[in-house]
């Protein structure tokens, strides 16, 4: 493979990676905990879009449980965002002819 082809491939990979990163911020996932009492919406890029907390949890006596449920919902959203990101990046790299052993930074 000559240098010109490698440079063209690198530029193509960079352009596709930039496009995929922009797409990730448009994919929405939802993390849930407490059987749906806490819901966190995030982009596949990891940006938190919003949250919904059931009114039953807005009791000072339930503060510890609410904190645990929020952490669980954030972690669930993060895991789903990571999965969506990997799936989207997998789509991008499936069309590229990368040399064996070539790894992209994600």
Rounded CA separation 30/103 (Å): 29
Query: Looking at domain 24-91, does it have CATH number 3.30.1310.10?
Result: yes
pLDDT mean over 18-27: 85
Under a CB-based contact definition with an 8 Å cutoff, are residues 44 and 7 in contact? no
**Would you tell me the crossing angle of helices 3-24 and 63-94 to the nearest 10 degrees?**
150
pLDDT above 70 as % of the chain = 87
Report the predicted TM-score, pTM, of the whole model to 2 decimal places: 0.66
Q: How do the domains of the chain map onto residue ranges?
A: 24-91
Q: Which residues of 67-86 are buried (b: 16+ CB within 10 A; e: fewer)?
A: eebbebbbebbbebbeebbe
Would you place residue 106 in the very low, low, confident or very high pLDDT band (cuts 50, 70, 90)? very low
């Amino acid at each position: 493979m000559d240098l010109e082809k490698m440079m063209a491939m690198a530029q193509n990979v960079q352009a596709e990676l930039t496009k995929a990163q922009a797409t990730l911020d448009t994919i929405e996932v939802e993390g849930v905990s407490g059987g749906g009492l806490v819901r966190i919406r995030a982009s596949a890029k990891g940006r938190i879009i919003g949250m919904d907390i059931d009114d039953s949890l807005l009791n000072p006596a339930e503060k510890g449980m609410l904190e645990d449920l929020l952490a669980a919902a954030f972690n669930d959203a993060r895991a789903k965002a990571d999965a969506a990101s990997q799936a989207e990046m997998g789509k991008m790299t499936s069309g590229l002819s990368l040399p064996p052993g070539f790894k992209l930074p994600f």
